[in-house]
Each structure stands twice: as C-alpha cells, then as structure tokens.
Amino acid sequence: MQHYFIDKPHKSTDFFVFTDSVIGYELCFRSCDSIFSKNKIDDGTRALLEAISNTQTLSGKGLDIGCGLGVVGIALIKKFGVFMDMIDINNTAVSLTKENLIKNNVQHSANAFYSDGFENVKENYDFIVTNPPIKTGKKLLFSLMDGAKEHLKDGAPLILVIRKDHGMESLKNYLIKIFGNAEILDRNKGYYILKSIKK
C-alpha cells in the first residue's frame, strides 16, 4: 500500500491550485496528487485550527510537525503573527509548503524543511502543533510525542488533533505518561484536540 507521505516523481500536469477558507482566512494552495488532503483542508486540520483559534493565544516561534501543504502553519501565522518552522518527511510537501508560504504572503514568517521526525530540528519552541501521521503506526506517533516534549520550552504547549477511532485514548494516556498532563481542548465530529504542557 502506498502511504501519502511517500515521494514519487511528478509531471508538471500533476500539480494544481485550490483555495479554501479556515478560521476566517481564504488561503490558496498549490498541490498535487500524492499529498495528504490534496484538494481541500482536511476536517481534522480544520478542527485543530478552529480549536486553537477559539481557545489559545499563541506567540513566539512554533513548530508544525508534518506540514503537508502548509495549511496549519500558514493559518497560524495569519491569525497570531507567529514565526513557524514547518517540517515534513515528504520532499514534495516541503517544496509545496515553500510555494504556499509565498502564495499566501507569509514567506518571511516561516522556514519549511525536510525532517524525518525531529532529525533536523535543532531548536526548542514556544508551541508545537500537529495533525500527526497516523497510518505509520503508534511507534512513530509516540516517538513524535517524545520529540515534541524534548523540543518545547518549559511551560510551552503541544496541541494536536486525532480521531477518537484512530487511537485517541491511547495517545492521550501516552501524553499523560510523558508530560504528566493532557487536556481535551475540544471535540468536533469525532476529532479530538489534545493539549499537553511541558512542565
């Protein structure tokens, strides 16, 4: 089975542009077939952004793990004026995120770069956000949680979305194990938004 994060060679005809709105911003994305949620903003991503927009005040520099087309980082820059590092294991996703930062006029507020998990992540952040990869299994998911804890400043939050039927309870229990806390910020059509703070 081919996972959405596997790079494959592309022809110029594989690429297209779509627009979609989230948290009050109309955003424009260049996309292609092999990318997660290729022609609209994913429902889980939307739930994550709405919950953050309605309940949080973010500032400083954040990290988006698994940026895909760049939806999460771009929307958060628009909303909060933050700076974002945006990482993905898929080089096409990284290239498209770079293009989409420019398309949405926020290229001076972000760095997008290839990283398999935290391998190329050097900094500690004021917040980390993610609609994490699930299809790759619990081992990777939990290792991303470990990395997030390591790369957060003291007092900084990790905020993520996961479907209840994709292992929400076990992820929440793992967050409690490593962070000592996990709060359900919101739930929306089966999507749960979880927040843990590095103490």
Ligand X SMILES: C[S@@+](CC[C@H](N)C(=O)[O-])C[C@H]1O[C@@H](n2cnc3c(N)ncnc32)[C@H](O)[C@@H]1O
* Contact track, ligand X, 92-121, x by CB under 6 A: -x---------------------xxx----
* Contact track, ligand X, 120-149, x by CB under 6 A: -----------x-x--x---x---------
Q: Toward ligand X, which CB reaches closer, 62 or 68?
A: 68
Which among 160, 182, 164 is positioned nearest to 173, based on CA atoms?
Answer: 182
Asked if 160 touches ligand X (CB under 6 A), the answer is no
Q: Toward ligand X, which CB reaches closer, 156 or 161?
A: 161
Of the candidate residues 32, 51, 72, 158, the single one contacting ligand X (CB under 6 A): 72
Which among 79, 173, 192, 65 is positioned nearest to 129, based on CA atoms?
Answer: 65
Task: In angstroms, give the least distance from the CB of 199 to ligand X.
Answer: 25
Structure tokens at 157: 């939050």
20, exposed or middle or buried, with CB in 10 Å at 0-12, 13-18, 19+? middle
Question: In the range 29-68, which residues lie near ligand X by CB under 6 A?
Answer: 36-37, 42, 45, 66-68
Task: In angstroms, give the least distance from the CB of 48 to ligand X.
Answer: 7
Owner of token pair 């292992």: 167
DSSP secondary structure code for residue 43 in this structure: H
Q: What's the CA gap between 142 and 29, in Å, rounded?
A: 30
H-type alpha helices, 119-165: 138-150
Judged by the rule CB under 6 A, the positions of this chain that interact with ligand X are 5, 36-37, 42, 45, 66-69, 71-72, 87-90, 93, 115-117, 131, 133, 136, 140
